[in-house]
Structure 1
Amino acid sequence: MTQADFDFLRTLLHLRSGLSLSLEKRYLVESRLGILCRRRGISGLDALVRRLRLDNDRELEGAVVEAMTTNETLFFRDRMPFDMFRDVILPEKLAANVAKRSLRIWCAAVSSGQEAYSLAMILDEIAPRLAGWKIEIVGTDISAEILERARAGLYSQFEVQRGLPIQLLLKYFKQEGDKWRIAERIRGMVDLKLHNLLESSEHLGQFDVIFCRNVLIYFDVPTKARVMAALSQRLAPDGAFILGAAETVIGITTTIVPDKQHRGLYRDGRSSRGQAPNFGFAFDRPKSLVESGSHI
C-alpha cells in the first residue's frame, strides 16, 4: 500500500467514523482491509482504494469503516460502572422520576450488545420494583453487521465466560450447541439502532443515563469535543453519564463534569451540580450480581 493510499484511507475513516489512525497503524489497516478485499474478491488494497476514489460507493465505504472498527466488549466489563449503575444511579433515578415513572438509557457504541444486555439483566433482577414503569434501553452502533449479532443475542462459550456470573448465565441464557442465546425477554428490553456518533442524535430523544465507554479513545481531541457536545445535548439535566476507565473530559468539554462523590460518573456541567443528589432511597443488591468468585 502506497503512502498516498494510506493517507486517503486515514482521511476517509476519520470523516466517516471519527477514527483517528496514527502512522504506526498502517499494518492494522493492511491486515483488516486485506481480509475485506479477499471476502469481496477485490484484488488488493490498491484496487480497493481505486474503487473508493472513483465509484462513490457508500456501501463499500461503510464496509471499510466496519472492518476498521474495534468491537471489543464483554458482559459487565470493568464491573465498577455496573455496580455504580445499580447502587447509585438507579436509586437516584427511581426517586427523581417517580412522578413520570420512566427511565431511558443509551448505550452508545453498543457493539455486540453485552453492555446493554448487562444493564437489562440488572433491571430484570429488580423487576417487581419497576412495575408500572416504562424502561427503555437504546443501544446504537455504526456497524450494521455487529448490530445483527447483538440482535441475535448468541454468544460463544468464550464470550459468556468473560465477566458473566454463572448464576446469570443459568438464569438468562439457553445453550444452543456450543453457544449460548440470551433470553428473549432480555433482548426485548433493548432497542438496537444504527447510528454514527458524528451525526445528529436529536431523533433519539433525551436520556436519563448515557453509557459511552471506550469510544473516545479512538478519536482525536477535536472529534472528542464534537461528540461530547452532541451527547451532552441528549442528557437530561439531572442525568448520569459514564465514560470508560481510561477516558476523561478534562481538556475536552465543560458540558459534562465529574461527579464529586463517585469516580467514573459524570454530570451535566450546565446544571452546575457536579454531584449526585441525596434522595434517601436505596435498595439491596441482588445477590447474584455481587457474589465474588462466581464467574465461570
Structure 2
Amino acid sequence: MTEADFDFLRALLHLRSGLSLSQDKRYLAESRLGMLCRRRSIDGLSTLVQALRPGTDLLLENAVIEAMTTNETLFFRDRTPFDLFRDVILPEKLTANAASRTLRIWCAAVSTGQEAYSLAMILDEMATRLVGWKVEILGTDISSEVLEKARAGIYSQFEVQRGLPIQMLLRHFRQDGDKWQVSERIRAMVELKPHNLLLPNSHFGQFDIIFCRNVLIYFDVPTKAKVMAALAQRLTADGVFVLGAAETVIGITTTIVPDKSHRGLYRESRSSNGQSAGLGLPFDRARTPTLRSVRG
C-alpha cells in the first residue's frame, strides 16, 4: 500500500466513522483490509483504494469501516461500571423517576451485545422492584455485522467465560453444543439499532443513563468533543454518563463533569445558580423531555 493510498484510507475512516488512524497503525490497516480483500476477491489494497476513491460504493466503504473497527468486549467488562449501575445509579433513578416509573438506558457502542445484556441481567434480577415500570435498553453500533451477532445473542464457551458469573450463565443462557444463547427474556429487554455516533441522534429521544465505553479512545480530541456534545443532548436533566476506564472528559467538554463521589461516573455540570453549564438551561426535572419510545 502506497503512502497516498494509506493517507486516503485515513481520511475516509476519519470522515465516515471518526476513527483516528495514526501513521504507526499502517500495519493494522494492511492486515485487516488485506483480509477484507481476500474475502471479497479484490486484487490487493491498491485495487481496494481505487474502488473507494469515486465515493460511490457505500457498501464497500461500510465494509472497510467494519473491518477497521475494534469490537473487543465481554460480559461485565471492568466490573466497576456494573457495580455502579446496580448499587448507585439504579437506586438513584428508582427514587428520581418514581412518578413516571420509566427508565431509559442507551449503550452507545454496544458491539456484540455483552454490555447491554449485562445490564439487562442486572435489571432482571431486580424485577420485583421494577414491577409496573417501563424500562428500555437501546444498544447501537456503527457495525451491522456485530449487531447481527448481538441480536442472535449466541456466544462461544470462551466468550461466556470472560466476566460472566457461572450463576448468571446457568440462569440466563441456554446451551446448544459448544455455544450459549442468551435467553429470549433477556434478549427481549434490549433493542438494537445501527447508529454512527457522528450522525444526528435526536430521533432516539432522551435517556436517564448513557453508557459510552471504550470508543472515545479511538477518536481525536475534536471528534471526542463532537460526540460528547451530541450525547449530552440526549441526556435527561439529572441523567448520568458511564465512560470507559481509560477515558475522560477533561480537555474535551465542560458540559459533562466527573461525579466526585464515584469514579467512572459523569454528570451534566451545574453552575452555582442552578443553571446547566454549557447548555444554559435550568437544572430542574420540569425541563426533562417527555419520554419517547425508541420505536417512535
Q: TM-score, normalised by structure 1?
A: 0.91
Structure 1 counterpart of 2:134, one-letter code: K
- In the aligned structure 1, how far is the partner of 2:176 from the partner of 2:109? 27
1:169-192 alpha-carbon deviations (Å, 9 max, x no partner): 000001111110000010000000
Q: Which has the bigger relative contact order, CA under 8 A and spacing at least 6?
A: 1
Q: Which residue of 1 aligns with 2:132?
A: 132
| d(CA) in 2 for partners of 1:11, 1:271 | 39
Contact 1:207 1:239 survives alignment (8 Å):
yes
| Structure 2 counterpart of 1:114 | 114
Equivalent positions of 1:1-296 (< 5 A) are 1-54=1-54, 56-270=56-270
Query: Does the Cα contact within 8 Å between 1:103 and 1:135 map onto a contact in 2?
Result: yes
Write the distance in 2 (CA, Å) between the matches of 1:66 and 1:207. Answer: 27
Instruction: Give the unaligned 5+ runs of structure 2.
Output: 277-296
| Alignment partners' CA distance in 1, 2:208 and 2:271 | 14
C-alpha deviation, 1:215, in angstroms: 0.6
Q: Distance in 2 between matches of 1:271 and 1:92?
A: 21
- The number of aligned residues is 274
Structure 1 stretches of 4+ moved >4 Å: 270-274
Question: Per-residue displacement from partner, 1:53-106 (whole Å, max 9, x unpaired)?
Answer: 136101100000000000000000000000000000000001000100000000
The answer for the alignment partner of 2:288 in structure 1 is none
1:250-282 deviations in Å (ceiling 9; x for gaps): 0000111011111110001156689xxxxxxxx
- The Cα shift of 1:129 comes to 1.0
Looking at structure 2, the residues matched to 238 and 126 of structure 1 have their Cα atoms a distance apart, in angstroms, of 22
What amino acid is the match of 2:16? R
Separation in 1, partners of 2:245, 2:55: 41
Q: Contact 1:237–1:271 (CA<8 Å) still a contact in 2?
A: no
Cα deviation 1:170-221 (Å, max 9, x = unaligned): 0000111111000001000000000000001111110000000001000000
Identity %: 77
Letter in 2 for 1:242: V
Distance, in Å, in 1 between the alignment partners of 2:9 and 2:169 is 41
Give structure 1 stretches of 5+ with no counterpart. 275-296
